[in-house]
Each structure stands twice: as C-alpha cells, then as structure tokens.
C-alpha cells in the first residue's frame, strides 16, 4: 500500500485553494489538482506491507494532536516536476514539531525514509509550464487543523486517488478546533 500522513483542509478552505489553483493554472499552465486531493503531506511513507499499514493506523488512532493553525501566505514551486504550491513564508514551528513527532513514532514502527528537509505546502498544479509570477494574487489563508489522516494513495491513469484509512482523535474536550482552551472548562 502506498501511504502518507497528511493534514486535510476543511471544505471551505478547499474551495478557496481551488480558486487559487484555477488562477495559477490560467497563468502558469499545467494540470490542476482536484479540490478533494488538496492536503499537506507530513510524512510520505511509500509502499508499506498490509501488516505495517494496520500497525500505523492503530498507532495513529491513539496519537495525541493538539489543534493548531497554519498561515498560507506565499506561492512557491518545485522546478523539476513543475509543481506550483502555496505555503508559509516562514517555517511554522508547530508544523515542524508535529512532523518530527510523527516521524519518531513511524520509525519506532519500522518505517524508514524521513526526509532531510520539510517544506510544508499544498500542491495546486503539476507540470506547470511557467513559474508563479508577480501577476498571481496575494495569498492569505489561515488553516485551523485538528486531525492527521493516514491516506492510501492509488495511482490510476487519471491521477492519484486518496482514501483515508485512519485519523487521530480530536478535537479534545476543553480545546476548541483552533487549539484554544474553551471557557468554563
């Protein structure tokens, strides 16, 4: 099974990312990612045997994740595959810590492949003909997250299809979806 751990945006944010993807495609060309595939990959696990996938799913359902907020405020690109993305202008310490914590747990389960570098981003386009330029609109989106999902990725001739296999519990009692302590708790 080809697996990854990711944050998946709520529907309203997916729609806003879709508008950005449409705008970027009109200026950069390329293949637009479908709204339902937008995500932030925290750990790409690659091909994993079924038994390990089951162990990862079980571990993830017991993983404690405090909700957080990520600010998407810049355009970016990975030149070689022609990927256009949006992400944060500054490294987000909470996301970096979450990614590190996830990899520590994954390595205890026998998963290898921790990347040397983590660039939090949401891919909007693949195979773009031109880089993002000054003509793209300013990005200013806040993403409140409260769950990490284990995603099974199936490659098809029409692109990848994603299915959630497991997710972290949450939000927790006494903590709002944006990570703040609720009054009276």
Q: Does the residue 150 lie in any domain? A: yes
| Mean pLDDT of the region 75-88 | 93
State pLDDT tens for residues 24-64: 999 999 999 999 999 999 999 999 999 999 999 999 999 99
* 102-123: average pLDDT: 95
Residue 120 is assigned to a structural domain of this protein: yes
Instruction: Report if pTM > 0.75.
Output: yes
Average pLDDT over residues 87-101: 93
Residue 50 lies in a domain: yes
Task: Write phi, then psi, for 20 (nearest 5 degrees).
Answer: -60, -40
Q: Cis bond leading into 75, ω under 30°?
A: no
Average pLDDT score over residue span 99-128 = 95
Question: Is 108 part of any domain?
Answer: yes
Residue 114 lies in a domain: yes
Q: Tell me if 158 is assigned to some domain.
A: yes
Query: What CATH code is carried by the domain that includes residue 75?
Result: 3.90.1140.10
pLDDT at 81: 84
- pLDDT, tens only, 146-173: 999 999 999 888 778 999 999 999 765 4
What is the rounded distance in angstroms from the CA atom of residue 17 to the CA atom of residue 50? Answer: 33
Name the domain count of the chain.
Answer: 1
Q: Shortest CA distance to 67 belongs to which of 184, 152, 183, 182? A: 182
For residue 176, being part of any structural domain is answered with no
- The pLDDT, as a whole number, for residue 99 is 96
Let me know how many helices (H) and strands (E) the chain has, helices first.
3, 10
The domain of 17 spans 2-167
Contacts of 92 (CB under 8 A, 6+ apart): 70, 71, 120
183 Cα distance to chain centroid: 30
Q: Report residue 104's pLDDT band, with 50, 70 and 90 as the boundaries.
A: very high
């Amino acid at each position: 099974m080809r697996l990854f751990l990711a944050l998946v945006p709520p529907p309203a944010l997916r729609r806003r990312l879709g508008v950005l993807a449409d705008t970027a495609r009109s200026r950069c060309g390329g293949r637009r990612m479908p709204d339902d595939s937008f995500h932030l990959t925290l750990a790409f696990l690659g091909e994993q045997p079924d038994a390990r996938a089951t162990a990862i799913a079980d571990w993830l359902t017991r993983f404690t994740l405090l909700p957080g907020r990520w600010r998407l405020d810049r355009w970016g690109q990975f030149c070689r595959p022609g990927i256009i993305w949006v992400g944060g202008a500054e490294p987000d310490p909470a996301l970096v810590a979450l990614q590190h914590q996830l990899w520590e747990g994954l390595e205890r389960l026998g998963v290898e492949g921790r990347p040397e570098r983590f660039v939090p981003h949401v891919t909007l386009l693949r195979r773009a003909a031109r880089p993002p330029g000054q003509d793209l609109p300013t990005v200013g989106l806040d993403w409140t997250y409260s769950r990490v999902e284990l995603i099974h990725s199936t490659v098809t001739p029409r692109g990848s299809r994603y299915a959630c296999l497991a997710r972290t519990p949450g939000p927790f009692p006494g903590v709002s979806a944006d990570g703040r302590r609720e009054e009276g708790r």
